[in-house]
Amino acid sequence: MRSWVVISVLALAGCGEHLGYNPNYQFGSNAYGEYRVAREAALVSGDEPPATIPIALPAEAPTPAQIAGQDPVPVPATMGVRRKAAVAAPAAAAAPAAIAAPVTTSGPYPGSTPVLVRYAFAAQHAPGTKIYARNGASAATATRVCAGFATPSAAQTAFLAAGGPETDSRGMDPDGDGFVCGWDPAPFRQSQL
């Protein structure tokens, strides 16, 4: 008996027309809907269908100047996602002026900079210098998580891909320096490309 009630409710739910939230799929509500009404009427009556199909561009499409890189592209809203603020480095430990990261000339992506090299050049502080606030992280958790990676470079790449160094959802960076599992940025800061 209960299964018949469920089947009946599902059958009734399937009978309704799904209008959706996209107005492009509704007849007559916009220019494209009016075109569809005219086209259907022409197909049924045998008349000539409309020659021009109207299109609607996105409201926030990039301009040609933004595509060419002349104007800055606006940063989209993060939909409520907030990043944790970094702990400011002491003034005495101010890093020297940043050096431009090298660019590869060969390999699968010529003209690009590998992720770890880019991060090593961006993070000019020494390993062990607390830069980011970490709450509840422990060395035991970091050791356990790091054991799952073949190399420190693989662990650092995974850490960066998961939102690091700002966030540390897996507890890989208990000291808050932005370097995990013993990864050393010094070899990556040398121009070896």
- The better pLDDT of the pair 30, 131 is held by 131
> CB burial class (10 A; 0-12, 13-18, 19+) of residue 164?
buried
Residues 51 and 129 grouped into a single domain: no
Q: Are residues 110 and 51 in the same domain?
A: no
| pTM of full prediction above 0.95 | no
Instruction: Tell whether 132 is covered by a domain.
Output: yes
Tally Cβ neighbours within 10 Å of residue 155.
23
In a domain, 40, yes or no: yes
Residue 58: the pLDDT is 55
The answer to whether residue 1 sits within a structural domain is no
15 pLDDT higher than 70: no
pLDDT of residue 123: 85
Model confidence band, residue 45 (pLDDT cutoffs 50, 70, 90): very high
Quick one: average pLDDT of 21-33? 62
Structurally, the chain folds into a number of domains equal to 2
Side chain identity, residue 81: V
pLDDT in tens, 133-144: 888 778 888 899
Query: Does 81 reside within a domain?
Result: no
Same domain? For 28 and 113 the reply is no
Same domain, 108 and 181: yes
Q: Do residues 91 and 108 touch, judged by C-beta distance below 8 A?
A: no
| pLDDT for 53 beyond 90 | no
* Res 27 pLDDT > 90: no
Q: How confident is the model at residue 192 (pLDDT cuts 50, 70, 90)?
A: low
Does 174 have pLDDT greater than 50? yes
Q: Is the same domain home to 184 and 108? A: yes
Average pLDDT, the chain: 75
Domain membership of residue 74 (yes or no) is no
Q: Which long-range contacts (CB under 8 A, 24 or more apart) does 88-93 make?
A: 89/125, 89/129, 89/131, 93/125, 93/129
Residue 114 and residue 179 share a domain: yes
User: Which of the residue ranges 32-46, 68-82, 98-112 would you say has the lowest mean pLDDT?
Assistant: 68-82
The predicted pLDDT at position 51 comes to: 86
What is the DSSP track for the chain?
Answer: -HHHHHHHHHHHHHHS----S-GGGSTTSSHHHHHHHHHHHHHHHT-PPPS-------TTPPPHHHHTTSSPPPPPP-TT--PPPPPPPPGGGPPPPPPPPP--SSSSSTT---HHHHHHHH--SPTT---S--SS--HHHHHHHHTTSSSHHHHHHHHHHTTTTT--TT---TT-SS--TT--SGGGGS---
**Does residue 29 form part of some domain?**
yes
Domain assignment present for residue 110? The answer is: yes
Q: Is residue 33 part of a domain?
A: yes
Domain span at 133: 100-193
> How many angstroms separate the CA atoms of 69 and 63, rounded?
10
Question: Are 173 and 105 found together in one domain?
Answer: yes
Label residue 79 by pLDDT band (50, 70, 90). Answer: very low
